[in-house]
């Protein structure tokens, strides 16, 4: 079973990102599970979203404590929350930042990929300068970096779930897929 944990802030689209990713995996005939965890519902509050995917039914129903993959949608969460908690030794981190992976101490221990998802989101007018909505961007990068789910499944899922600025979200996901390394 593959376990993924998203770290985001309220308003960035972390919960929707988990839902879209789960739908994309389902399109590829995987068993999936997703759910969020958050305290006070307010913009900018830390939010966790959990996704599990497997080739067989998923019977556990608890939070993801030992993720295989971390998706960090707001880099400021690294300093303020225990983002790396439980990440497996073989873990992968996808981080929204304009910094190079080598800028982070943990890049020596974990496979770390960075992408300026905020810039891409703003280029497509997704969110505001103070709070870009990066979920579609992150999912395009996720598809490219991990190879676990196709871009086509991500795009179909975005089309089915995002009703506002759908074309911009699709274009942003494609741009992230094309630029992610």
Which residue range forms the structural domain that includes residue 141?
A: 2-179
pLDDT for the residue numbered 39: 62
Q: What is the pLDDT of residue 42?
A: 62
What integer pLDDT is reported at residue 166 of this predicted model? 97
pLDDT tens-place values along the chain, 181 residues long: 999 999 999 888 899 999 999 999 999 999 999 998 876 556 678 899 999 999 999 999 999 999 999 999 999 999 989 999 999 999 999 999 999 999 999 988 999 999 999 999 999 999 999 889 999 999 999 999 999 999 999 999 999 999 999 999 999 999 999 999 8
**Which residues on adjacent β-strands are paired with residue 5?**
50, 70
CATH at 78:
3.40.920.10
pTM: 0.94
DSSP-assigned letters across all residues of the chain: -EEEEEEEETTS-HHHHHHHHHHHHHHTT-EEEEEEEESS--TT-EEEEEEEEESS-----S--SS-SEEEES-TTHHHHS-TTTT--TT-EEEEE-SS-GGGSGGGGTSEEEEE-HHHHHHHTT-B-SSSB--HHHHHHHHHHHH-SS-HHHHHHHHHHH--SSHHHHHHHHHHHHHH--
Give the number of domains in the chain.
1
97 phi and psi angles, rounded to 5 deg:
-165, 160
Q: Order of strands, edge to edge, in the sheet holding 92-96? A: 31-38, 46-54, 2-9, 69-72, 92-96, 111-115
Residues 6+ apart with CB under 8 A from 151: 140, 143, 144, 173, 174, 177
């Amino acid at each position: 079973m593959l376990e993924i944990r998203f770290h985001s802030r309220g308003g960035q689209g972390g919960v929707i990102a988990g839902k879209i990713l789960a739908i994309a995996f389902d399109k590829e005939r995987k068993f999936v599970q997703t759910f969020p965890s958050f305290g006070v519902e307010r913009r900018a509050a830390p939010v966790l979203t959990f996704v599990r995917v497997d080739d067989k039914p998923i019977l556990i129903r608890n939070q993801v404590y030992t993720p295989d993959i971390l998706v960090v949608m707001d880099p400021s969460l690294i300093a303020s929350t225990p983002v790396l908690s439980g990440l497996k030794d073989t873990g992968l981190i996808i981080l929204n930042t304009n910094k190079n992976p080598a800028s982070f101490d943990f890049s020596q221990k974990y496979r770390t990929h960075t992408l300026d998802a905020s810039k891409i989101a703003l280029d497509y007018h997704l969110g505001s300068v103070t709070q870009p909505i990066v979920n579609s961007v992150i999912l395009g990068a996720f598809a490219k970096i991990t190879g676990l789910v196709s871009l086509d499944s991500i795009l179909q899922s975005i089309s089915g779930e995002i009703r506002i600025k759908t074309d911009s979200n699709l274009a942003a996901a494609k741009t992230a897929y094309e630029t992610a390394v």
